[in-house]
Amino acid sequence: MEDNLSVVLHAQGDLRLEERPIPEPGPNDVLLQMHSVGICGSDVHYWQHGRIGDFVVRRPMVLGHEAAGRVVRVGSEVQHLKACCVSPCLSSPGDRVAVEPGVPREMDEFFKGGRYNLSPTIFFCATPPDDGNLCRYYKHSANFCYKLPDNVTFEEGALIEPLSVGIYACRRAGVTLGTTVLVCGSGPIGLVCLLVAKAMGASQVAVTDLSSERLKMAKQLGADFPLVVSREDSAQEVAQRVEGMMGNQPHVTIECTGAESSMQTAIYATRSGGVVVLVGLGAEMASVPLLNAAVREVDIRGVFRYCNTWPMAIAMLASGKVNVKPLVTHRFPLEEAAQAFETTRKGEGVKVMLKCDKNDQEP
């Protein structure tokens, strides 16, 4: 436990690999030896632009929030997780856990009401000013670390983070047996929505994207109707094509691009009485056919990350209900973070994993 190599963003465009001190866990924390951490579009966005909306990188911040690792020390109050025999130690194994990156700081109305993701003061890994976990050693609230069963790999554990967006989106949409679903966008987030919709019993899922390349993975993961769209298509045309393919308008549309035209498509395409879930994050203002949504009672529901998804996700992975393994298309050791970020930036593959444990680079 000597070094704590970390991927630190100093400012827009200034990404560095540097040593950081190993943190000291508080009474309710655990210290984790990180194993696998995925790179998210938002990590790349902070690197490229130094900000997302109102969140601005003002001082050096460790990136990374899709993570799994092993418990190496536990705080004095922690009961449900165990580290290894002697502490500090690396020889005997502590619990393997997946990390939920959002930890509410206050017991406010949102937390008490079961929607802690909406708590305005929440801690969130790699959202300024909070550090992420793309490093060797990271401390986290023990209550937001979830033990992985033996048959769930670290990488699956790390993928619970994006998967949670899909679970939460489908939950907010009310996807269930026989629901027909349109997913707009076939990036990593669109793909997890597809996977989850299928696992919840959706009978048909259509997926759109501008790139036919991107739709290949959707098809491979079970999309019934992959649909290449172009920027020239009008939203109503795309909506009609979707209805034509599916035989009826979908009950639910999950928008995962953030593009204004795709939000318009989402509204026009959805069946009366259905739901549009907005996952994709676009410009502050969007011009959309709200009248059409209103008179057909197509509800529009946003998604801000997720809450209460980890236990469910672990159950799904352990039982084999959802297979997220094909999402990982690239792996790099932590030392090669620069190439890993470059790969994600270029939109190659789907999910790039950084392997943080020098002695174990297995999935």
Residues that bind Zn ion (CB under 5 A): 40, 42
Under DSSP, the state recorded for 135 is B
245 binds ligand NAD (CB under 6 A): no
For residue 156, count other CB atoms closer than 10 A to its CB. Answer: 26
27 binds its own copies (CB under 8 A): no
222 binds its own copies (CB under 8 A): no
Pairs from 336-345 (Cβ < 8 Å, separation ≥ 24): 337/7, 337/15, 337/17, 337/134, 338/15, 338/17, 340/39, 341/15, 341/39, 341/43, 341/44, 341/47, 344/39, 344/41, 344/43, 344/44, 345/44, 345/47, 345/48
42 binds its own copies (CB under 8 A): no
Query: Contacting its own copies (CB under 8 A), which of 37, 57, 71, 200?
Result: 200
203 binds its own copies (CB under 8 A): yes
239 binds ligand NAD (CB under 6 A): no
| Binding to ligand NAD in span 62-121, by CB under 6 A | none
Q: Which residue has the tokens 């048959």?
A: 151
Look at the chain and count its residues: 363
Give the side-chain half-sphere CA count within 13 A for 106: 8
Residue 33 or 265: the one with the smaller Cβ distance to ligand NAD is 265
Stretch that binds ligand NAD, among 64-72, 106-114, 130-138, 259-267 (CB under 6 A): 259-267
223 binds its own copies (CB under 8 A): no
Query: Contacting ligand NAD (CB under 6 A), which of 209, 221, 235, 352?
Result: 209
Query: Contacting its own copies (CB under 8 A), which of 278, 324, 328, 334?
Result: 278
* Distances from the Cα of 95 to the Cα of 24, 148, 185, 308, angstroms: 18, 8, 36, 21
Structure-block tokens of residue 279: 């996952």
How many residues touch ligand NAD under the rule CB under 6 A: the total is 27
Q: Which residues pair with 332 in a beta bridge?
A: 354
Least distance in angstroms from the C-beta of 5 to its own copies: 31
Each residue 57-96 as x (binds its own copies by CB under 8 A) or -, in order, gives ----------------------------------------
Residue 142 or 278: the one with the smaller Cβ distance to ligand NAD is 278
- 267 and 243 Cβ atoms separated by less than 8 Å: no
Contacts of 273 (CB under 8 A, 6+ apart): 296, 297, 298
Q: Which residues bind ligand NAD (CB under 6 A)?
A: 41, 165, 184-190, 208-211, 214, 229, 256-259, 261-262, 279-281, 303-305
